[in-house]
Structure 1
């Protein structure tokens, strides 16, 4: 890794995109390329990233090309910038933007944290010390936005679903795919994009979305309770009725979603369990997947 004084925007961006190219959807990869192609029109790509100022970011966001974008695209672009600066802080050096006002672009409430640098022995020690939480985190990791916008439906009930396997020698997580039956291999040494071990140690409240299918409210209630019991984690879970506007309005007004479903008399309920960080695009995809 280059020293802090020599890390340029271009170098950081190249590392940033290369790390995510293997685990993110190609569409997202191209979004990054397009975003920072615009980015470089206003900021010198060979400028040391530690010298980037908040003024540079504001100038970029107020540029004519950005202002002509649709509001949703602007929102996505700002989110990409936040991720990029967080990545620079975490991957290159925690002190990289220590005295740089540009770090204010980061998501409010996220505190500084040092880059995880676990040795193989430390990883195994952490896993062995937290066997059940580790298994729960593996389950959540499979269901989270490992690839943004992708829905991984729970298939335990069909008898064909195989749980993820953890290889203690290579420190890799092998996750079978629900559609292709090809394993996705994810290193968990703490320095990969997913950072399963860091998440295990730090917190469990990451974005998650699981699609449930039930014939009535009672079936859904039982399945919901079983999932909470299996995970045994402090999660803010909500059941959203995404197929009926009236049910959604009732839920937004503070109504019990299960009671709402029974009240509406659904014969076949298809709902989504998600928490507050679920992305709008993911919810839209869930709605599309739920249509007959």
Structure 2
């Protein structure tokens, strides 16, 4: 028989979510007082953010740590097949998509409750437009899984900031994790991970994994190296980014008693890698 949670246990977990959401709301408000488009270690200490180990997007060291919650997908043969498709085929697909009736982002916000950040920095000299905005959000096909992801467009290139982190990376990390916490739909999961894909102009990209550490009551970020997207032809990093956009949930996010229950019922147990995020376009 599966383990049944008592009312007190359920209320306790809901209370944990509410406390974590309260901390993230305060963090979001505090971030408004950081006008720069990048953040450094001193900023993180003030905000309550931890920068964890680098995210090994190349999977060269076999990172199977307990804080790795996503894995890239798309086999190499699928990437090759897509790369070999005639350009006219892609143009036909784009034409078909363009003819579809667009969905007003306002309706998506009302339907999902997800209102992603937008920020336009004040005028600076020499003048370079500095802003960031969301493009779309991704959710798991299996709604019982808390993993989420988001694609961000940022006019800044973080490659010039050294070890510093773009403000947009943190802003969207807070928004995605906070949204999952306030939904109250995944109380049986102690961790609600988010993945942020940031396109830095048309030259580079970076992937940021975020989750709230309930033991330390801090938001943890793990960032990839900068992916090189420059040049007239798609780079190897461009295909790597696509594999990560088509990623699959990984890692243990459920409380132990929930995992035992799903195994007893013949459920997921060891979670299948075949469950992936589903694109919800126009979420801004």
Give the TM bin, normalised by the shorter chain: under 0.3
- Highest relative contact order (Cα 8 Å, sep 6+), 1 or 2? 2
Which protein has the larger Cα radius of gyration, Structure 1 or Structure 2?
A: 1
Which has a greater percent of strand?
2
* TM-score normalised by the chain length of structure 1: 0.23
Q: Which has the higher helix share?
A: 1
TM-score, normalised on structure 2?
0.23
